[in-house]
Structure 1
Amino acid sequence: MNSSTLSDKGFTATQTPARVDMKIYFEALENLYHPTDNPSGALPMNVAENHLCWEMLRERIQKVTRENDIPEWVASYTDPSGAPSFREATAGFLSKFLFKVPVVPESIAFSSGATSVIEMTAFLLANPGDTAVIPAPSYPVYTGDIGVVPSVKRYDLQTHTEISELKNGVPISLDQLEKAKTDIEGAGSKFKILILTSPDNPTGAIYSEKQLREIADWCIQNEVHLIVNEIYGLSQIDITHPELKGDYSNPIEFVSFGNLMSEYKSPFLHFWYSFSKDLGISGFRIGLVHSHNQEFLDAYRNAGMGHSISNFTQWVMQEVMADHAFLESYFRAYPKELTQSYLIVIRALREMGIDYSPSYGSLFVWMDISRFLTEKTEKGEEEIWLDIYEKTGILITPANGFGHKIRGLFRMVITGMNHETLQVAMNRLKDYFSQK
């Protein structure tokens, strides 16, 4: 019996950290590497933050606040799903830079960050005890986002066994979806939501337009809500780079799911996005959902008041979103910086003979260090993860929680530091594995 002063869910929350690596991450932040002040300091590479072009964006934001008066509406309540002017500016941004088709502002609703959007969506689309299917490996915190408040179960769909199978994208099939449906219904639950992330976290793989169409058709036929998370949609690697193109024998073209949604206009198709990753502003807490399901959008507006974004943040970012000339310059610079970070990492992995998933985008490299494990178990994974941190100061994302059955695969965030510091991290990693 729960003897806590909290509810059952509250007591569970006291025993369940949002991430298993947070304590060590905060420890690392207290001892950060600096080339002169702290050259032996820690190099956290476990949290999905992007600092590559922050200076460009910061300068533009400072220009907004310096040269413009704050509008009257900022100090008042506005539409809980997003101020109309902010939705209009964001619709223009999505239309030009991601969807490549017109976007109706009223089809967008905002919440304070991607986590809030995920939680709200699961809460409104599924009943407690229903199941969301997610191809493995995938973002560990999806479990809490859909589970803590909405009480939706997570089903990790095993689409492949070897990292080499990702070279042509995520190898998902309709047969796998049918099997998942049978398994879930056999366990007394309902396959209610399918979540795809493209580019994927952690593998960097993408879904082809053909795959998206086949999966969308299956979901509509089976009345399953398909949500595609494109939070890394504009974090794309230049796969034509001379050092990279050999990894992509059958290159896939990235097509935004928003483009397909404009054609289907189905109430079972939805899209997630956040400014956190492509724009590198995690602390601004801006997430959005796009849908042609008006009933869902009405529910989102009515239930989401506690998840609203600060009006000041909305105003600042609507000015940035409306400046397409600035955004064009930003998205010319950012992919170059991202590709350079990716090159620094994979050059080192190739030198060490470590396999990795060829990435189309995202902030990560998904690598296979299974041959260095003392045992291919969760314990073996935890041991090497901690040993790398203790001996090098490099904190990669632990394997725990990604939902993949293969042991020894780890995620490394490549965008949280400048190129010089990233090279230091890779040199330390090469020294570490050379002694194994």
Structure 2
Amino acid sequence: MGVMNLDQPQLLSKIAMGDGHGEASSYFDGWKAYDKDPFHPSKNPHGVIQMGLAENQLTADMVQNWIMSNPEASICTLEGVHNFKQMANFQDYHGLPEFRNAVAKFMSRTRGNRVTFDPERIVMSGGATGAHEATAFCLADRGEALLVPTPYYPGFDRDLRWRTGVKLVPVICESSNNFKLTKQALEEAYEKAKEDNIRFKGLLITNPSNPLGTVMDRNTLRTVITFINEKRIHLISDEIYAATVFSHPSFISIAEIIEHDTDIECDRNLVHIVYSLSKDMGFPGFRVGIIYSYNDTVVDCTRKMSSFGLVSTQTQYLIAKMLSDDDFVEKFLPESAKRLAQRYRVFTGGLIKVGIKCLQSNGGLFVWMDLRGLLKNATFESEIELWRVIIHEVKINVSPGVSFHCSEPGWFRVCYANMDDRDVQIALQRIRSFVTQNNKEAMGSDKNSKPYWHSNLRLSLKPRRFDDIMMSPHSPIPQSPLVKATT
């Protein structure tokens, strides 16, 4: 065996050798814990239940029924195979015209038909992940920065930073005002970064919010537009949860503000929207991401970049047929909202019964759960310790707030739309067992002491009959209010 030459140049790139992907996060660690021990009602009833994945499976039956009723929409059926050659050979990175037309029309519908979208500005990408990266490449150079209100989706650290070299600077939002974005928070983050000699190129917002499940009101959106125009920086509005809003207040797109609120100054060249069908339609595996920019240069550049992550023509063809079916879309959107509202009521109602409250929300596929009262200390170390108990002993994968860059320990994102009714009830049963046991043990100790749970807590996860634990879907359960910050 030869001796290694220590002076030998590095054989791999810095990206390959580094950890810029952001995978070293409790957010992804929870997924790994689930992958190692996935729950199955019969094969592995004591496994980890996946509640860290924001998937929408509540309307899968509607999509499946449409596909079965429209076999010609697929080029892999007897009814549609005559289009196989044409679709298999299509390579234009502009995308199928009928696909862009259908997506533009669907985007308008998910925004209440209050705005229209130009199909010529629809740019394809491999999911919202690719859409965000391509947009970041166009707006900022390596070392430049985007402002991002907290808490924010952990994947942004990968999507916008890893390969582009762009920095993300947090805008601190707090529970005292329901984590609402304010002008003061924007100005403070901007001025602090200027003191640190960071050059800003844009602001990234998510509306509806991931992980909060809340929507931005008109005044907040007007504040955002005024801010980016004053600072002459770009705005990226992530609207991938637009059609998951299930109750009032309704979702307002940034497109609606710039089209209708003519009393405020707005340079449209600074505004860019990221969208996808992963959440609204439950199609994450189809990798349908959309960039919609009001800037001609950005449209041109991101369209060229889309060559690195095109949506397959077969998928475009199917999606175009589905979204062009007016009857289907008109039935799908309200039914999806109805099912999400029902699941939200059932899940938050189950949490309320054991004294766990959440930030009041009306969108997304998750809740922002408040477990500050279960922390031994008001620290992120205590939050992670509690999270490990929930993962390894309660056997539920939830995502701790620290992975979302939350400024306050004790908040957790819990996804509720990626499973059936039975699994939701099993998850609630486990949470009830955990809280009940914790309360009993705490009562046996000093009443003024902190929560009594410990790292080797063991719970009885003996399965119960579904009928025994199922709550009536028709029972009125109030929405959970925000718990006021403790002192």
Q: TM (normalized to structure 2)?
A: 0.81
Paired with 1:96 and 1:374, the residues of 2 have a C-alpha distance of 47
**Structure 1 residues 255-274: aligned runs within 5 Å:** 255-263=252-260, 266-274=268-276
Q: Helix, strand or coil: the match of 1:435?
A: helix
Matched with 1:207 is 216
Q: Partner residue of 2:199?
A: 190
How far, CA to CA, are the matches of 1:416 and 1:256 in structure 2?
Answer: 25
Amino acid at match of 1:114: A
Deviations 1:269-297 (A, max 9, x none): 11111100111111110110111110110
Structure 2 gap segments, 5+ residues each: 1-6, 261-265, 439-487
Deviation at 1:24, TM superposition (A): 4.6
Q: Deviation string for 1:198-227 (max 9, x for gaps)? A: 111111111112221221122123211111
Offset of residue 27 of structure 1: 4.4
Larger mean CA deviation between 299-308 and 69-78 belongs to: 69-78
AA aligned to 2:296 is Q
Moved over 4 A (4+): 1-4
| 2:101 aligns with one of 83, 88, 96 | 88
Q: Which has the larger radius of gyration?
A: 2
Distance 1:385 1:287, change over 3 A: same
For the 8 Å contact 1:232–1:278, the answer to whether it is kept is yes
- 1:226 to 2:235 alignment: yes
Question: Is the Cα–Cα contact under 8 Å of residues 273 and 288 in structure 1 kept in the other structure?
Answer: yes
* Gap change, CA 1:18 and 1:363, over 3 Å in 2: farther
Q: Which moved more, 1:179-188 or 1:119-128?
A: 179-188
Output the CA distance in 2 between the equivalents of 1:111 and 1:312: 15
The offset of 1:99, in angstroms, is 5.7
Q: Could you tell me which of 117, 131, 144 is aligned with 2:145? A: 131
Which of 130, 133, 137 is the aligned partner of 1:119? 133
Aligned length: 419
Q: Map 1:325-404 to 2 at 5 A.
A: 325-404=327-406
Secondary structure at 1:267's aligned position in 2? Answer: helix
Please give the per-residue CA displacement for 1:316-369, whole angstroms capped at 9, x wherever unaligned.
111111112111111122111111111122112211222311112001100111
1-side partners of 2:9 and 2:272: how far apart? 41
Structure 1, unmatched stretches of 5+, are: 240-251
Look up the SS of the partner of 1:156 in the other structure: strand
Cα offset, 1:143, TM superposition: 1.2
Q: Is the 8 A contact 1:414 1:422 kept in 2?
A: yes
- Pairwise CA distance, 1:161: 4.1
Distance 1:85 1:21, change over 3 A: same
User: Which of 394, 404, 407 pairs up with 1:405?
Assistant: 407
What's the counterpart of residue 87 of structure 2?
A: 74
Q: 1:365-394: per-residue Cα shift (whole Å, max 9, x none)? A: 001112212333332222111111222221
SS of the residue corresponding to residue 320 of structure 1 reads helix
RMSD: 2.2
Which has the higher mean CA deviation after the structures are superposed, 420-429 or 32-41? Answer: 32-41
Matched, 1:10 2:16: yes
Contact 1:29–1:44, Cα closer than 8 Å, also in 2: no
Whether the aligned pair in 2 keeps the contact of 1:81 and 1:305 (CA below 8 Å) is: no
Q: 1:177 aligns with which of 186, 195, 203?
A: 186
Q: Structure 1 residue aligned with 2:118, among 79, 100, 104?
A: 104
SS in 1 for 2:243: coil
Of 132, 151, 155, 2:165 maps to 151
2:153–2:210 CA contact under 8 A, matched in 1: yes
CA 1:429–1:133 in structure 2 vs 1: closer, same or farther (change >3 Å)?
Answer: same
**Structure 2 match to 1:243:** none
Alpha-carbon distance in structure 2 between the residues aligned to 1:171 and 1:15: 28
- Percent of residue pairs identical: 29
Tell me what 2:453 maps to.
none
Say whether residues 1:426 and 2:428 are aligned partners. Answer: yes
Secondary structure at the aligned position of 2:197 is classed as coil
Query: What does the per-residue CA deviation read over 1:231-262, in whole Å, with 9 as the maximum and x for residues that have no partner?
Result: 111101335xxxxxxxxxxxx44222222344
Q: Matches of 1:76 and 1:278 in 2, distance apart?
A: 29
Query: What's the offset of the Cα at 1:414?
Result: 0.7
Distance in 2 (CA, whole Å) between partners of 1:72 and 1:159 is 53
Greater RCO (Cα-Cα under 8 Å, separation 6 or more): 1
Q: Greater shift after overlay, 15-24 or 75-84? A: 15-24
Query: How far, CA to CA, are the matches of 2:27 and 2:222 in structure 1?
Result: 37
The one-letter code matched in structure 1 to 2:146 is: A
For residues 156 and 99 of structure 1, the distance between their equivalents in structure 2, rounded to whole angstroms, comes to 31
Whole-Å separation in 1 of the counterparts to 2:186 and 2:427: 40
Indicate the larger mover: 215-224 or 58-67. Answer: 58-67
Is residue 396–residue 411 contact of structure 1 (8 Å, CA) maintained in 2? yes
Distance in 1 separating the partners of 2:351 and 2:9: 50
For 2:89, the aligned partner's letter is S
Q: Give distance in 1, aligned partners of 2:267 and 2:106.
A: 20
**Structure-1 separation of matches of 2:9 and 2:411:** 39
Cα 1:16–1:178 change in 2 (3 A) is: closer
